[in-house]
Amino acid sequence: MSHIGRPAEPDKRTLRREFLAVRSRLTADDVRETALALAGRALDLPELARARTVAAYVSVGSEPGTLALLDTLRARGVHVLLPALLPDNDLDWGAYTGEDSLARVRHGGKMALFEPAGERLGPDGVTAADVVLLPGLAVDARGMRLGRGGGSYDRVLARLERADAHPALVVLLYDTEVVERVPAEEHDRPVHAVVTPSAVRRFHTT
């Protein structure tokens, strides 16, 4: 079958570069303003309203900001779990009890991350979550998420599946990062919803 004339689908690496380039042009004010709007949208989610435990993450750089959301969840009495990157790119988990419970950790030449400074719960700690908030660079009309390529959250999703745990999976993005299609591989799993500063979109996952 001939594919002449059909445009090639961009690969994940190319798309990651493109989305990161757009994010790199955001100002600190842009990030701060969208973080407040993002928190407002996310807090309207019924899944978060009834959640007792939420696995989340601390945004860094020009990622959609999460701290306002984390602090509001904690003020509501929600048990918030944050990841700590392990040497093999898997994730351990610990409790978030406010900004003073975070440690700034640099992993090799990568960007420094803010991780829980207290007791660690082990990689299986995430299986207790009612909602898992996922970072990403884009999501498509099927709910397929484009991550940064480290594979950490692929491991999280596989661990949840093995444990027969079924939290709501929600990715936090900017409005322009909801696209028609991103490349997906057999092991990729769709999310249930995406929250952006202006909207919530849900996906019908099987």
For the segment 27-49, what is each residue's pLDDT rounded down to a tens digit?
A: 999 999 999 999 999 999 999 99
Feature table: binding site for substrate: 58, 63
Feature table: binding site for ATP: 12-16, 145-153
Of the pLDDT bands very low, low, confident and very high (cuts 50, 70, 90), residue 183 is confident
Ranges of each domain in the chain = 29-202
For the segment 65-97, what is each residue's pLDDT rounded down to a tens digit?
A: 999 999 999 999 999 999 999 999 999 999 999
Residue 112 is inside which H or E element, if any?
A: none
Q: Which CATH number fits domain 29-202: 3.40.50.10420, 3.40.50.620, 3.20.20.70, 3.30.70.1520?
A: 3.40.50.10420
The one-letter amino acid code at 100 reads D
Looking at residue 3, its pLDDT comes to 39
> What is the rounded average pLDDT of the residues 162-170?
96
Feature table: binding site: 12-16, 58, 63, 145-153
Write down the residue that tokens 């596989």 correspond to. 158
Q: Which long-range contacts (CB under 8 A, 24 or more apart) does 181-184 make?
A: 181/9, 181/140, 181/141, 181/142, 181/144, 182/12, 182/15, 182/138, 182/139, 182/140, 182/144, 182/145, 182/146, 183/9, 183/10, 183/11, 183/12, 183/15, 183/146, 184/140, 184/142, 184/144
Residue 43 is inside which H or E element, if any?
A: helix 28-43
